[in-house]
Amino acid sequence: MTPEMQHLIDSLSENHTLTLAQYAALIDHRTPETAAELARRAVAVRQSIYGRDVYVRGLIEISNICKNDCLYCGIRRSSRTCRRYRLTPEEILDCAKEGYALGFRTFVLQGGEDGYYTDPLLCALIGDIKAACPGCAVTLSLGERSRESYQRLFDAGADRYLLRHETADPAHYAALHPQSMSFHNRMRCLYDLREIGYQVGCGFMVGSPGQLSAQLAQDLKFIETFRPDMCGIGPFVPHHDTPFGDKPAGTVELTCFLLSVIRLIHPPVLLPATTALGTIHPTGREWGILAGANVVMPNLSPVAVRGDYQLYDNKICTGEESAQCRGCLERRMESIGYRVVTHRGDVKRI
């Protein structure tokens, strides 16, 4: 390894910060050797905070109806081939109860921006889940809403909110989204969520069309300054019925490299080994954990609709029952020397 790269890695581990130019250099000049060194340090740091525990979150994909038209996303409004569905509050509650019986203590309600899920509906649903599943945490991932809405949902008992920023570069954001969406509003949402008191997750895609190391450097700088409780990063994977259908997917290699860097920037962050990572490689999620991730999110959605939540092509876990998906991930984690733990798995703020 060159002395320059060694210096960057040392200073990142010690100070948890680099300049934008240094982040870009770390990415541009990466080698298998630097990746291995970063992963070794990331795993050591994670081990000191979370041991060999991998937290699980039960993912319930509540609706694929979305008013937005993000250029990369398979459930975008203008997709004609997407078979639309939305789960009723009763169906969502049943998924949560099934997950609770399987040991899950965190449920992530994720969906497109679907106006059916009004504040009163969601507040009642959150109350019902909390009553039926004592001691559980409810995470919402329902896109951009008003501050008042976020506040009501928080007051109703929601604990966490996931809203990927998608990219921290405003120009790149504009290239990935229709004009009706704004980077500024995305950031407004994230800061509102934080102020209200949620544990907040941001995140971005690796290898999205047009993304350069300069953009990734901005994502890393954003994580350094925002200090999210969670950070979801996964490779971009093309969906055939979108404007990016013929673009190449992101790689396991760069995604894992960035997972290690993010672990070193912000040691206590909850970092999932994502479904997208498992989609582009059969053991992608295992590689993610070995690079510094510490969360997995098995699918609890009803099997009848799973195949319809196609954010990208070839998404895994679409045929398996909840129990199978959970068992599968448990075995996968055990195969690399980790254990899945089922408590709420709150972030450790150190």
- For ligand FES, the binding residue among 328, 336, 344, 346 (CB under 6 A) is 328
| From the list ligand 5AD, ligand FES, none, partner contacted by residue 156 (C-beta under 5 to 8 A by kind) | none
Stretch that binds ligand 5AD, among 98-106, 234-242, 259-267, 335-343 (CB under 6 A): 234-242
Q: Which does 317 bind (CB under 5 to 8 A by kind): ligand FES, ligand 5AD, none?
A: ligand FES
Strands (E), 128-243: 137-141, 160-162, 199-206, 230-235
Least spacing, CB of residue 235 vs ligand 5AD, in Å: 6
SS3 of residue 59 by DSSP:
strand
CB of 278 to ligand FES, least distance (A): 7
Residues 239-278 that bind ligand 5AD (CB under 6 A): 239, 276
9 binding partner (options ligand 5AD, ligand FES, none; Cβ < 5 to 8 Å by kind): none
108 touches ligand 5AD by CB under 6 A: no
State the binding partner of 109 from ligand 5AD, ligand FES, none, CB within 5 to 8 A by kind.
none
Q: What share of the chain is helix, strand, coil (3-state, %, to 5)?
A: 45, 15, 40
| CB closer to ligand 5AD, 137 vs 237 | 237
Judged by CB under 6 A, the stretch of 167-175, 249-257, 265-273, 320-328 that binds ligand FES is: 320-328
* H or E, element range at 58: strand 58-63
Among 59, 140, 325, 333, binds ligand FES (CB under 6 A): 325
* Among candidate residues 212, 206, 257, 214, the one with its CA nearest the CA of residue 20: 214
Binding region for ligand 5AD (CB under 6 A) out of 20-28, 125-133, 189-197, 231-239 = 231-239
Q: Which residue has tokens 């291995």?
A: 36
Nearest to 250 by CA among 228, 271, 233, 270: 233
311 binds, among ligand 5AD, ligand FES, none (CB under 5 to 8 A by kind): ligand 5AD
Q: Which residues pair with 341 in a beta bridge?
A: 55
Single out the residue of 279, 276, 310 nearest to residue 205, CA to CA. 276
The footprint of ligand 5AD on residues 120-179 (CB under 6 A) is: 164, 166
The footprint of ligand 5AD on this chain (CB under 6 A) covers a number of residues equal to 12
Cβ proximity to ligand FES: between 110 and 299 the closer is 299
| Options 299, 301, 330, 333; binder of ligand FES; rule CB under 6 A | 299
Closest CB 277 distance from ligand FES, rounded Å = 12
Residue 122's contacts (CB-CB under 8 Å, 6 or more residues apart) are: 140, 142, 153, 156
Among 8, 73, 217, 231, binds ligand 5AD (CB under 6 A): 73
Q: Return d(Cα 220, Cα 23) in angstroms, integer.
A: 7
- Choose the binding region for ligand 5AD from 215-223, 235-243, 298-306, 329-337 (rule: CB under 6 A): 235-243
In whole angstroms, the minimum distance from the beta carbon of 249 to ligand 5AD comes to 8
Type of residue numbered 166: E
Can you give 103-126 as a three-state secondary structure string?
A: CCCEEEEEECCCCCCCHHHHHHHH
Contact 200, 146 (CB under 8 A): no
- List Cβ neighbours of 142 (8 Å cut-off, separation of 6 or more): 62, 109, 110, 111, 113, 117, 122
Separation of alpha carbons 37 and 312, rounded Å: 32
Q: Which residues pair with 160 in a beta bridge?
A: 139, 199
The binding site for ligand 5AD (CB under 6 A) comprises 72-73, 164, 166, 205, 234, 236-237, 239, 276, 311-312
The binding site for ligand FES (CB under 6 A) comprises 298-299, 317, 320, 324-325, 328-329
